[in-house]
């Protein structure tokens, strides 16, 4: 199964196409495997197959759908080691973290397997019975980024299938293989054409988002691309769920105890080498605890071990691809001139897209590292004195994915957290997520919801059944 070349999946068949995508290991910059590349013709074939499969699947009993999701979860578990190794090779994350991603994917799949779409009785009186039903949308296209390739593929597949839809999955060009392997392992248990997997080098996205046979796009990626998806899906009024970028602020209050919270803040900023949509990307610290907080975070960063994810004891892998690597280097170079580096900040010429865990203090809003989404292992720490001013700064971003407030007085911290303009706010933690908790971006961090009942509902169409007695 763990071959060097991975075909795409159309109508239950593994298809080798004329064109090949070479996949690079970001720890070595060497090509280690390849997959077939899909064209517009393959997209048309996949849409036709999905439409055919959906006609039957959409009529199936919820128990059959739940059973299939449980079987998919089982298959992922059985193949978890192969999937984790492939994930480390293509994404770069340390093997234990890749294993964690697979476990998380299983958890999401099992969660949706335990759910059902809820019909509602709206009214019943002497003259009528009114009910709200939830129907499938048809063919859903799921477009994923490269930070959690397998998890994102699975957490879009599971609710889409549960709601009675068929699917076209398109992974990111630099991390297609774990999704292709996912297709190989579920192929034998899913009806033909119900899940199709197409890979590309960034050309297929616009063809998918404008395809007349696709009814919904579930997209995770950058805000810039999300806007293109909305524009392209607009003319056919496709249903859209857009989970986009973020520039999450964390606010450390005057009464916080830095030694208690530094490790959690550090991990919330640096997990997956900072390549997490809802990572802490700007840290605002009250002046009274600023020195202590900077020094506690420096200690955390100095201990971090970065390297090839297959080596023992590695906490952080490389950036996933060259484009992101260069972007983060440029942000650090500019920030170094305006703030003070207290850990990391130097780059080597060795192969691999490695950036040391970098902490920059004494920096201000208005600098790209603070204002833009870095999506990498560098955290700016900004000193503040006035609470109202820092709330304004935290909210002064076009993004609104998440935010957190840290302090000993939990009620007070919660009051402040509720004032952040973000889809999720946390107190004394950040990015605490789960399949049963809806995730939604405010402002330019997205449209719609993923996960939980609200996320599941987005894969369905409401039908009101109004019967006169
Ligand atoms: P990206 O937007 O470049 O690519 C995402 C996907 O979109 C890829 O599969 C890509 O091939 C595809 N794509 C590219 N052009 C397209 C187009 N015109 N139409 C349709 N699809 C197109 O994002 P990325 O660089 O792969 O991922 C990093 C970004 O994703 C970060 O900004 C991060 O915050 C965001 N992200 C958000 C979440 C979330 O849940 N909010 C999760 C992970 C990543």
**75 vs 182: CA distance, rounded Å:** 9
- pLDDT confidence of residue 244: 98
**What DSSP string describes 239-307?**
EEEEE-----EEEE-TT--HHHHHHHHHHHHHGGGG--TTS--EEEEEGGGHHHHHHHHHHHHHH--BS
Query: H-helix or E-strand containing 33?
Result: strand 30-36
| Ligand 1 centroid to residue 85 C-alpha, Å | 23
- Residue that is written with structure tokens 């001013």 in the block: 389
Residue nearest to atom 21 of ligand 1 (CA): 205
Whether residue 352 sits in one domain with residue 308: yes
| Ligand 1 contact via 246 beta carbon (within 6 Å) | yes
| Ligand 1 centroid to residue 208 C-alpha, Å | 14
**Is 339 among the domain residues?**
yes
Confidence of residue 168 (pLDDT cuts 50, 70, 90): very high
Whether residue 120 sits in one domain with residue 66: yes
Whether residue 423 sits in one domain with residue 368: yes
Average pLDDT over residues 364-391: 98
449, pLDDT greater than 90:
yes
Known active-site residue 277: yes
Whether residue 300 sits in one domain with residue 187: no
User: Which residues on adjacent β-strands are paired with residue 420?
Assistant: none
- pLDDT confidence of residue 2: 45
> Mean pLDDT across the chain, nearest whole number?
97
Q: Are 309 and 264 in contact (CB under 8 A)?
A: no
Whether residue 98 sits in one domain with residue 70: yes
- Cα 88 to chain center, whole Å? 17
* Residue 457 token pair: 């509902």
442, pLDDT greater than 70:
yes
6, pLDDT greater than 70:
yes
Compute CA distances 337 → 250, 325, 333, 365, 366, whole Å.
23, 19, 7, 14, 13
Whether residue 454 sits in one domain with residue 390: no
- pLDDT per residue over 358-371, tens digit each? 999 999 999 999 99
| Ligand 1 contact via 398 beta carbon (within 6 Å) | no
- Residue that is written with structure tokens 């998890």 in the block: 151
- pLDDT per residue over 38-75, tens digit each? 999 999 999 999 999 999 999 999 999 999 999 999 99
Whether residue 271 sits in one domain with residue 305: yes
Overall number of domains in the chain:
2
Whether residue 405 sits in one domain with residue 279: yes
**20 vs 36: CA distance, rounded Å:** 5
| Ligand 1 contact via 343 beta carbon (within 6 Å) | no
- pLDDT confidence of residue 3: 52
- Residue that is written with structure tokens 């063809």 in the block: 207
Domain of residue 259 covers 248-434
**57 vs 44: CA distance, rounded Å:** 20
Whether residue 24 sits in one domain with residue 94: yes
**349 vs 116: CA distance, rounded Å:** 52
**Is 318 among the domain residues?**
yes
Residues 6+ apart with CB under 8 A from 79: 1, 181, 185
Which CATH number do you get for residue 140?
3.40.605.10
| Ligand 1 centroid to residue 147 C-alpha, Å | 9
Residue nearest to atom 9 of ligand 1 (CA): 172
**Is 268 among the domain residues?**
yes
**Is 440 among the domain residues?**
no
User: Which residues on adjacent β-strands are paired with residue 341?
Assistant: 360
- pLDDT per residue over 211-267, tens digit each? 999 999 999 999 999 999 999 999 999 999 999 999 999 999 999 999 999 999 999
350, pLDDT greater than 70:
yes
Whether residue 150 sits in one domain with residue 89: yes
Mutate to test the pocket of ligand 1, among 145, 179, 219, 242 (most ligand atoms within 8 A of CB): 145
200 CA: nearest ligand 1 atom: 11
445 CA: nearest ligand 1 atom: 41
**Is 25 among the domain residues?**
yes
Is 71 exposed, middle or buried (CB count within 10 Å of its CB: 0-12, 13-18, 19+)? Answer: middle
Whether residue 43 sits in one domain with residue 154: yes
Which CATH number do you get for residue 353?
3.40.309.10
Q: Which of 111, 145, 308, 323 is nearest to 218 (CA)?
A: 145
Q: Are 46 and 198 in contact (CB under 8 A)?
A: yes
Residues 6+ apart with CB under 8 A from 386: none
- pLDDT confidence of residue 337: 95
1, pLDDT greater than 90:
no
Whether residue 253 sits in one domain with residue 237: no
- pLDDT per residue over 292-334, tens digit each? 999 999 999 999 999 999 999 999 999 999 999 999 999 999 9
| Ligand 1 contact via 248 beta carbon (within 6 Å) | no
**Is 112 among the domain residues?**
yes
| Ligand 1 contact via 240 beta carbon (within 6 Å) | no
| Ligand 1 contact via 399 beta carbon (within 6 Å) | no
106, pLDDT greater than 70:
yes
Which of 45, 243, 373, 444 is the catalytic position? 243
**238 vs 233: CA distance, rounded Å:** 5
Average pLDDT over residues 129-157: 98
- pLDDT confidence of residue 351: 96
């Amino acid at each position: 199964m763990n071959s060097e070349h991975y075909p795409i999946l159309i109508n239950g068949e593994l298809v080798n196409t004329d064109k090949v995508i070479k996949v690079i290991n970001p720890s070595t910059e060497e090509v280690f495997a390849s997959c077939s590349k899909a064209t517009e013709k393959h997209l048309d074939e996949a849409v036709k197959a999905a439409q055919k499969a959906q006609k039957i699947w959409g009529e199936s009993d919820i128990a059959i759908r739940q059973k299939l999701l449980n079987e998919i979860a089982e298959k992922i578990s059985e193949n978890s080691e192969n999937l984790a190794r492939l994930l480390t090779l293509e994404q770069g994350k340390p093997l234990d973290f890749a294993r964690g991603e697979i476990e998380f994917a299983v958890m999401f799949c099992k969660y949706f397997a335990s759910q059902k779409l809820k019909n509602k009785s709206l009214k019943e009186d002497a003259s009528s019975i009114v009910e709200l039903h939830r129907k499938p949308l048809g063919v859903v296209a799921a477009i994923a980024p490269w930070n959690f390739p397998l998890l994102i593929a699975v957490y879009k597949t599971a609710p889409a299938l549960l709601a009675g839809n068929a699917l076209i999955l398109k992974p990111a060009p630099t991390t297609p293989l774990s999704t292709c392997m996912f297709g190989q392992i579920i192929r034998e248990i899913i009806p033909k054409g119900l899940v199709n997997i197409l890979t590309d080098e960034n050309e297929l996205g616009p063809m998918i988002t404008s395809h007349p046979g696709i009814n919904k796009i579930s997209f995770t990626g950058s805000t810039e691309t999300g806007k293109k998806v909305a524009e392209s899906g607009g003319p056919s009024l496709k249903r859209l769920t857009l989970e986009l970028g973020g520039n999450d602020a964390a606010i450390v209050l005057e009464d916080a105890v830095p030694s208690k919270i530094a490790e959690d803040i550090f991990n919330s900023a640096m997990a997956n080498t900072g390549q997490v949509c809802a990572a802490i990307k700007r840290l605002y610290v009250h002046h009274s605890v600023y020195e202590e907080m900077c020094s506690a975070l420096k200690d955390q960063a100095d201990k971090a071990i970065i390297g090839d994810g297959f080596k023992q004891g590695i906490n952080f892998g490389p950036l996933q691809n060259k484009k992101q690597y260069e972007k983060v280097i440029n942000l650090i170079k500019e920030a170094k001139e305006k703030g003070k580096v207290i850990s990391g900040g130097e780059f080597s010429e060795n192969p691999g897209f490695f950036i040391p865990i970098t902490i920059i203090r004494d920096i201000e809003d208005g600098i790209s590292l603070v204002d833009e989404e870095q999506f990498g292992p560098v955290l700016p720490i900004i000193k503040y004195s006035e609470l109202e001013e820092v709330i304004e700064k935290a909210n002064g971003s076009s993004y609104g994915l998440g935010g957190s407030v840290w302090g000993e007085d939990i009620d007070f911290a919660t009051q402040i957290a509720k004032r952040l303009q973000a889809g999720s706010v946390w107190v004394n933690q950040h990015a605490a997520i789960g399949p049963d908790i809806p995730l939604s971006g405010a402002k330019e961090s997205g449209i719609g919801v993923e996960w939980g009942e609200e996320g599941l509902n987005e894969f369905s169409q409401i039908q009101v059944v109004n019967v006169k007695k």
